[in-house]
Amino acid sequence: MNRPSTSVGLVIAVIAAATFGTSGALIKPLFEAGWSPAAAVTVRVLIGGIVLAPFALFTLRGRWSVLWRGRWRVLGMALVGVAGTQLVYFAAIQRIPVGTGILIEYMAPLLLVAVAWAITRHVPKAVVLIGSVVALAGLVLVVSPGGAGSFDPIGLGFAVLAMIGCAIFYVIAARPSEGLPPVALAAAGLLIGGTALGLVGLVGIVPFTTSADDVTMFGSEVAWWIPLLLVGVISTAIAYAASITASEILGSRIASFAGLLEVVAATFYAWLLLGEQLTLPQFIGGALILVGIGFVRSEKTDAAELIAEPDPAAPLTASGARPGAAPEPERESPRR
């Protein structure tokens, strides 16, 4: 079976960014009604997992051994990619401005480039370095970080942990699937991650408050479960399944740079649905992110293959290598 083209992967990555980006506009009414971030995200994640579960069961078709073989990938996605990253992000934005927290978290693509550089000892190609700088400049313009508390060392530390968690998410998503469908990985990761988030909230590690009052959504009073359902289906189920699928096709480096479009999408939805002002620097920043993605995409090598360790249980391919093993020395290896 032929692997889908990079163009297909980029289209799916754009869908992931566009759906992930709706989360802020859809979940904000719940925050205004008294929901804590941890509670809203926990319910959102569990709804996403429940929505994807039937599709996961259909794609697995009783092949539970596939799910068992991928158990460490599933647990990594659940505990790091879903639960851990969001917990440390919440902890960060309690101490530093949201814009600063987002900026640091979404520097994950640059972290992947740096890790690949350190592991392979190969200097990334010029197009990757240029794309990284251009995309970072665009991200700064879109997010416009700053404000009081920006230099709180504990808050910045949590934000850095969120960046690491975000990078790990893309590496896990880009690993060889070994027959595990992306929708099954997404469903299992969301259900386990949501359960972990709920347990953390119930024991009081993070504030966990809910409300059954009606919420104001786009100028109308609606039941509290409507925004939760929308964010669970659109911003979680579809978004995670699409992001994992795109990462398997593109590799973690290109997928993580494409993930920067989530910030652009979130800004657009805030303007369209919430009436927040869009500025010229934000437009320029969005364009720079697109240019940066274009530069990075032009360099074909994927560092996820270099970061991922070969699975000793995996069968040898015709060439004698194991799926997921690092490329041979003569191949280009700058990554992410």
3-state secondary structure 105-170: HCCHHHHHHHHHHHHHCCCCCHHHHHHHHHHHHHHHHHHCCCCCCCCCHHHHHHHHHHHHHHHHHH
- CA 231/CA 44 separation, integer angstroms: 6
82: DSSP letter: I
Whole-number Cα distances in Å, 12 to 2, 236, 239:
17, 15, 10
Do the beta carbons of residue 21 and residue 268 sit within 8 Å? yes
Residue identified by tokens 């979680």 is 236
- pLDDT value, residue 271: 84
Q: What pLDDT digit, counting tens, does each position of 86-124 carry? A: 889 888 887 888 778 888 899 999 999 998 888 888 888
DSSP states of 208-233: -----S-EEETTEEE-THHHHHHHHI
Task: Flag residues of the chain having pLDDT under 50.
Answer: 148-149, 302-336
Given a contact cutoff of 8 angstroms between Cβ atoms, the answer to whether 17 and 9 are in contact is: no
The DSSP symbol for 97 reads: -
Cβ-Cβ contacts under 8 Å for 242 (sequence gap 6 or more)? 12, 13, 15, 16, 19
User: Which residues are CB-neighbours of 45 under 8 A, at least 6 positions away?
Assistant: 82, 190, 193, 194, 197, 232, 236
pLDDT of residue 51: 97
Exposed e or buried b per residue across 283-303, where buried means at least 16 C-beta atoms within 10 angstroms of its C-beta: eebbebbbbbbebbbebebbb
What pLDDT score does 73 carry?
Answer: 93
Count of CB atoms within 10 A of residue 99's CB?
Answer: 17
DSSP-derived 3-state class of residue 200: helix
Contact 294, 140 (CB under 8 A): no
Copy the structure tokens of residue 4: 């889908």
Asked whether 306 and 327 are in contact (CB, 8 A), the reply is yes
Q: Which tokens belong to 46?
A: 């569990």
CA–CA dist 243, 290 (Å, integer): 17
Distance from C-alpha of 85 to C-alpha of 200, rounded to nearest angstrom = 13
Q: Write the pLDDT tens digit of every residue in 51-74.
A: 999 999 999 988 889 989 999 999
**Distance, CA of 254 to CA of 195 (rounded, Å):** 30
Question: Residues 6 or more apart from 212 whose CB is under 8 A from it?
Answer: 224
**Positive or negative: CA dihedral 74, 76, 79, 82:** negative
pLDDT at 223: 93
In angstroms, rounded to a whole number, what is the distance separating the alpha carbons of residues 285 and 271?
A: 15
